[in-house]
Structure 1
């Protein structure tokens, strides 16, 4: 941050606009300003890098009123509309890092962060989540990395709240410790909160990082999860933190957003209708995942000698099963394919600590979910018995 100083022309344009002068660009190549736009897409295209102001105002109102926006009243000028949270990650890595720099990200976790970072020339250093009846952030591991020779490369810390697939929320004491470390080491905080609205149990002190003021914070969310619609490619970033850092971040992020172009006007215009459907869709998903979790717990309880255990999930759409480590995860999935006409993702896909893990989605129809969970348990029994 601090690079990309405006040139003389940009400064002169800004000064003129501040004086109320409306500049007529002689190089305007926007056909909708010259009567050449299609009748199917009426209106003038306004290239606002943060996305349509009307749509951002609607989103800010929704986030504030519903409590989904985190701390305080959401300012539409601190929102960016994009096609997805994946795109948001890429923009933020480009904003915060130069090639060779790195970010801290949690493991176990979905491998998307690592893949996106490497696509833009940014490294990823992993910090561990530990399990002892519940998943927690290993703060000692984060401190060790920051104080190592690699620590000087780190520009941001990624928190996923709740994590995927472990389902662990960021607990109040973890939040305070992470913010303190970010402040002392000059790190930005990237908070991925796409699964926040899907708790599987009540948790005291559970809250979003969106709107955090103590450190420069970029909170990510979108319709893909809140509307249960992966094909609804609308994501957003909420920027918060110390005023001077936010101002500089907005200036530089505008440049990146302008280069990549704002979200489609067609999507932005439909945003109010989509936001109105969020509560109903979220409720339906909550009912399904809660019911399937109880079904899984009942299946495990009905097998008193079952060698498979459920690793406590706090939220999200998935659960992690602990299976005996003597069973090869690949072999189990291959037998699911060949004998049950089912498939799954082994734990190492998510960088689980060692072998003996399997991840199940809680989203399937109840009959399908019970059939799948039972098939896994039956195969584990058969493999332990050498069948």
Structure 2
């Protein structure tokens, strides 16, 4: 497995090495340069605990995650502020400037933006639609064997994808794992929408815990709790033992440089995990209900020219609208005439015109009103 040269894993100086030996042996010692105010009775009343920097995140928080998720151990997890930060850390870990990652299209443009900030190229592979979405695995193989192959360091999979809502199918997973093993690249699996199944096929499962190839599974409270303001995300590391050990040795350096999560947030993690099952069920009920409403409204629409692409999971879906008018024209018409905006398909790099993303999260009456706006706007343009 290739790792970047950006992470300094040089041997510690003699003093740092000796201190580490003392700690490992259970010996206590004083430090003349100890500038941690919480160890000198100067902590504020709102944060009375002594601060102990744990680069992977506070151990009690990681233990709570491992227990709640029922897999791995606290040592498998890195707790940080968001999956966006996780992408950044992993690109630092795996990629030198000019290296590349493979990312799905259609897909959320955030990955490409973060890659650019890390001086890394994002090379797209296609998800294709033929009644349901599937990964063009043959294209990925061609990319790995092509001229860009030597600089590709990771395959990013979104499981399920946003905005297509497609899970990675079992046969796709097997081929992707085998390819990544053969080419010596890691898998970064973004699984923040995993628990929101809509119309899935059988056999889907998480990449988290995958043991055959170095895998970094991303998740967080933003989607689990439907709480984007709860800035908690995590990386779960798995794979062959030697690869995991070396990856974590280097990832610990990155985590240490950026410092662990705030204690204020970390203390709240166990309580927020207690809320997770009920909150996830509440959101799942909403999105499934709105999807059923969408199917009914489209079926009953007299014009009958708008349909929805099958979404297996998540909380966004793609509407297919007549391609005889431009997506910008549709959204701008909705904005001018109905005070409603939206995201056309080209925002997500759809390969052709005629798509509109719509969220399944609004209150049922608001959601029905949103769908009506789309249907009315389409009718307006068709009759113009």
Normalised by the length of structure 2, the TM-score is 0.96
Matching residue of 1:5: 10
Answer yes or no: is 1:26 the counterpart of 2:32. Answer: yes
Q: Would the aligned equivalents of 1:196 and 1:315 in 2 still touch at CA under 8 Å?
A: yes
SS in 1 for 2:148: helix
Query: Cα deviations across residues 267-309 of structure 1 (Å, max 9, x unaligned)?
Result: 1111111111111111111111111101110011112541111
Answer yes or no: is 1:51 the counterpart of 2:49. Answer: no
What is the rounded CA distance, in whole Å, between the counterparts of 2:366 and 2:4 in structure 1?
A: 53
- Displacement after TM superposition at 1:7 (Å): 3.1
Matching residue of 1:378: 376
- Displacement after TM superposition at 1:372 (Å): 1.1
What is the rounded CA distance, in whole Å, between the counterparts of 2:79 and 2:189 in structure 1?
A: 16
What is the rounded CA distance, in whole Å, between the counterparts of 1:178 and 1:43 in structure 2?
A: 45
Q: Would the aligned equivalents of 2:94 and 2:153 in 1 still touch at CA under 8 Å?
A: yes
Q: Which one of the candidate residues 75, 87, 90 is aligned to 1:89? A: 87
What is the rounded CA distance, in whole Å, between the counterparts of 2:125 and 2:335 in structure 1?
A: 33
What is the rounded CA distance, in whole Å, between the counterparts of 1:243 and 1:383 in structure 2?
A: 59
Answer yes or no: is 1:38 the counterpart of 2:44. Answer: yes
What is the rounded CA distance, in whole Å, between the counterparts of 1:8 and 1:370 in structure 2?
A: 65
Q: Which one of the candidate residues 243, 258, 266 is aligned to 1:268? A: 266
Matching residue of 1:222: 220
Counterparts in 2 of 1:186-265, with a 5 A limit? 186-265=184-263
Q: Would the aligned equivalents of 1:322 and 1:358 in 2 still touch at CA under 8 Å?
A: yes
Q: Would the aligned equivalents of 1:165 and 1:319 in 2 still touch at CA under 8 Å?
A: yes
What is the rounded CA distance, in whole Å, between the counterparts of 1:8 and 1:27 in structure 2?
A: 16
Q: Would the aligned equivalents of 1:2 and 1:248 in 2 still touch at CA under 8 Å?
A: no
What is the rounded CA distance, in whole Å, between the counterparts of 2:259 and 2:238 in structure 1?
A: 22
What is the rounded CA distance, in whole Å, between the counterparts of 2:181 and 2:256 in structure 1?
A: 29
Counterparts in 2 of 1:1-387, with a 5 A limit? 1=3, 4-9=9-14, 10-64=16-70, 73-303=71-301, 305-385=303-383, 387=384
Query: Cα deviations across residues 129-155 of structure 1 (Å, max 9, x unaligned)?
Result: 000011111001111111111111110
More displaced stretch, 344-353 vs 22-31: 22-31
Gaps of 5+ in 1: 65-72
- Displacement after TM superposition at 1:230 (Å): 0.8
What is the rounded CA distance, in whole Å, between the counterparts of 2:193 and 2:65 in structure 1?
A: 18
Query: Cα deviations across residues 87-118 of structure 1 (Å, max 9, x unaligned)?
Result: 11111111111111110000001111111111
What is the rounded CA distance, in whole Å, between the counterparts of 1:351 and 1:2 in structure 2?
A: 29
Gaps of 5+ in 2: none
What is the rounded CA distance, in whole Å, between the counterparts of 1:176 and 1:60 in structure 2?
A: 25
SS in 2 for 1:281: helix
What is the rounded CA distance, in whole Å, between the counterparts of 2:201 and 2:63 in structure 1?
A: 31
Q: Would the aligned equivalents of 2:198 and 2:314 in 1 still touch at CA under 8 Å?
A: yes
- Displacement after TM superposition at 1:262 (Å): 0.7
- Displacement after TM superposition at 1:16 (Å): 4.0
Q: Indicate how the Cα distance of structure 1 residues 38 and 55 shifts in structure 2: closer, same or farther if over 3 A, else same.
A: same
- Displacement after TM superposition at 1:6 (Å): 2.0
- Displacement after TM superposition at 1:333 (Å): 0.5
Task: Count how many residue pairs are aligned between Structure 1 and Structure 2.
Answer: 378
RMSD between superposed Cα atoms in Å? 1.4
What is the rounded CA distance, in whole Å, between the counterparts of 2:32 and 2:179 in structure 1?
A: 49
